[in-house]
Structure 1
């Protein structure tokens, strides 16, 4: 009986102070910060599709040299992306531990490897931008050799390369400037402290008071467990989204991403060049407006009266009030 009364005292003490832990505010702000950061990293992923389209349109020619230029420019863009991922993703570090592995998969050539190795010391290991500089040099050469017909096309392609480089730099900035560890520790301590205090304080006790209608005497505080489950779920969501370039199943699939980018870049800049369907008249060539589909569910807007105007809202003559200014 003594220990039972002691347990009741501890439970009542925890119940009186458990609401003083601002777990909802702390955890909600932390979740918002982590999700915003996670989505920002996704939006910072550089996609080479726009660059490949611009290169295929700007670098004109069907000979071997122009084909090499187009393929090399988009390959340099993909190489810059892979070099960026090697610095922030354990998956990419495992897949491309050395430059030789980049050569094996076609991202790099032997001569380019020597240039990268010579630049590492001067650039303090940060060389993701070097292939983009090479791409700019190729654009300049293509303009001098008149494979690019005007300076406007050069400006557009260079602008897209700068956007690509900026997104790679944003990924590195997210990796270098992380959420302070102390904030993560505060949130974790707050959640688990609330968990322990709630489990103790929300127990059903004999001396917690009776009401006229009585209370349901159950052994398990169901809604308390649901509340704890929600808070722990929030915390686990934040932990899973904290580093989207990690090795977990919920992280970004960077392996498929780099393979997709390389494949689509070559398709746009090389294989699909001048590849389009034969030009033909469309189905509604002789019609001003094509007829509606035969099988179509009418929407609410279709059922409403067409061309509604404010004329239907004008008052009648006997309802109108005219004010004549003196």
Structure 2
């Protein structure tokens, strides 16, 4: 499920940051706490072993890792930045192409005449579009597949009839079955056009285009799942970051054990700088891992099942409420009416929004006479 925190940052404040920082579900702390614990165990294990060694073995230990002590993760930052940018672009591409029914439903409900047969055809088109979405989502999302493990579950949920389900299953479609309901929806629209139930040919084409666009979005999200980022790319990133912190468990040890002042340095007891690096880099990496497949079951993965339910009920609602109520005079016919606000609300932005930066600067009176002259070649405009 997606974790919403928008209200917590609706207004900037000194403590607004902490409302977000200390949340657990969907947070970076939840993503990295296991890895951080395992790394600290490794770090203190190496520390305990080092402090039990004699002086000669300590020198051998330090000589073996001295080449890594000054190694900085700048190359990892560079690699992660490109990787996360690519992942976020794919994540956004998936979200914008998941298929939202509103535009198609508005076209189907607005461009056709009234009548019981027309109403049934409109509802059928919406149902076919959502059924096509289910067939796509259950092939790329484990959430949708758990809800619709077979065609019988789709029939039970009301998105297909038994006859329609049988036809789809008996169709020789080794590659894609979601095109069948889309084709049915187009055929229903075509039949309604031939029956004269569209207001014109142009609105029929506009409706057909909305249905086609809905299918195009589903096709795009299916292709994103079909062709992932080349495996070697995430392998390199995942391996490099984890290897770096394995090296840090050895190279970032505090070696000045004989210095009496060392016991007053926090790094003597806890690698605070390295832990900060771990939170930033590993957190960055875990964000990329979580966004790599946004149709899974992580905290911030997309609500596929909610989208399916929203599409079917919103689409049917648009069909059933296409007829507006009787037209009546409204309060805004009185030019002195409004704006109206509750007594306990004072909106400081009233009269300031969408105003030009120099709109309120007065350089001349309303009826003042302005002297003008012709702008000649020797007097170019400023």
**In structure 2, what is the equivalent of residue 187 of structure 1?**
237
Aligned alpha-carbon RMSD (Å):
3.0
**In structure 2, what is the equivalent of residue 30 of structure 1?**
83
1:48 to 78, 95, 101: 101
**In structure 2, what is the equivalent of residue 115 of structure 1?**
167
How many angstroms apart in 1 are the aligned matches of 2:175 and 2:219? 14
How many angstroms apart in 2 are the aligned matches of 1:10 and 1:189? 22
Tell whether 2:72 aligns with 1:19: yes
Q: Say whether the 8 Å CA contact 1:51–1:161 is kept in structure 2.
A: yes
Structure 1 pair 218–87 and aligned structure 2 pair: CA distance change class (3 A): closer
**In structure 1, what is the equivalent of residue 119 of structure 2?**
67
1:284 to 325, 332, 335: 332
**Unaligned stretches of 5+ in structure 2?**
1-54, 366-374
Q: Say whether the 8 Å CA contact 1:84–1:172 is kept in structure 2.
A: yes
1:203 to 253, 257, 261: 253
**In structure 1, what is the equivalent of residue 34 of structure 2?**
none
Structure 1 pair 9–291 and aligned structure 2 pair: CA distance change class (3 A): same
**In structure 1, what is the equivalent of residue 368 of structure 2?**
none
SS of equivalent to 2:186: helix
Question: Normalised by the size of structure 2, how large is the TM-score?
Answer: 0.72
Question: Normalised by the size of structure 1, how large is the TM-score?
Answer: 0.84
SS of equivalent to 2:331: coil
How many angstroms apart in 2 are the aligned matches of 1:8 and 1:70? 76
Structure 1 pair 305–193 and aligned structure 2 pair: CA distance change class (3 A): closer
Tell whether 2:196 aligns with 1:146: yes
Once the two structures are superposed, the pairs formed by residues 169-188 of structure 1 within 5 Å of their partners are 169-188=219-238
Q: Say whether the 8 Å CA contact 1:10–1:200 is kept in structure 2.
A: no
**In structure 1, what is the equivalent of residue 22 of structure 2?**
none
Structure 1 pair 248–301 and aligned structure 2 pair: CA distance change class (3 A): closer
Tell whether 2:305 aligns with 1:252: no
**In structure 2, what is the equivalent of residue 319 of structure 1?**
none
**In structure 2, what is the equivalent of residue 317 of structure 1?**
none
1:93 to 145, 168, 180: 145
Structure 1 pair 208–53 and aligned structure 2 pair: CA distance change class (3 A): farther
CA shift, 1:264, in A, is 0.8
2:348 to 294, 297, 304: 297
How many angstroms apart in 2 are the aligned matches of 1:324 and 1:172? 63
SS of equivalent to 1:15: coil
SS of equivalent to 2:233: helix
**Unaligned stretches of 5+ in structure 1?**
210-214, 313-321
1:229 to 270, 273, 279: 279
**In structure 2, what is the equivalent of residue 6 of structure 1?**
60
How many angstroms apart in 2 are the aligned matches of 1:103 and 1:224? 55
CA shift, 1:14, in A, is 1.4
Structure 1 pair 208–231 and aligned structure 2 pair: CA distance change class (3 A): farther
Aligned length: 305
How many angstroms apart in 2 are the aligned matches of 1:154 and 1:301? 44
SS of equivalent to 1:19: coil
How many angstroms apart in 2 are the aligned matches of 1:35 and 1:217? 37
CA shift, 1:286, in A, is 2.9
Cα displacement string for residues 169-216 of structure 1 (whole angstroms, at most 9, x for unaligned residues)? 10110011001111111111110121122232233333999xxxxx95
Cα displacement string for residues 117-152 of structure 1 (whole angstroms, at most 9, x for unaligned residues)? 232x2x314111111111111111111111112101
How many angstroms apart in 1 are the aligned matches of 2:253 and 2:377? 76
